[in-house]
Amino acid sequence: MTKRLSREKINFLARQILDFLFENDEVEFLFEPNEIRLSVVKTLEEELQLYDLIDKKAIEKIQSQKKAIEEGSREWEILYRKYYNDEISKLGTFLE
């Protein structure tokens, strides 16, 4: 069950990444800092959406079981982790 980051937290992370890159003398910037920050924000948001989708797929698999499984139970948590990790593995295979 993923936790959604607020827009403020995403912007904070993007600024932290940009600050880190500015401190590195080996990094050469080809775009304005705000353009880079916006690109980082967009990338973070896309990644979070992907993990939300994986979360939903794992939950749907649990809910599709013949036997009702109570959310929060040990069995539910074990299945959630298994299905979530299966979806992550599928994604890794897809990206290769």
pLDDT digits (tens, 9 = 90+) for 55-81: 999 999 999 999 999 999 999 999 999
pLDDT digits (tens, 9 = 90+) for 11-41: 999 999 999 999 999 999 999 999 999 999 9
Largest CA distance in the chain: 58
What is the reported pTM? 0.74
Q: What tokens were used for 84? A: 């979530």
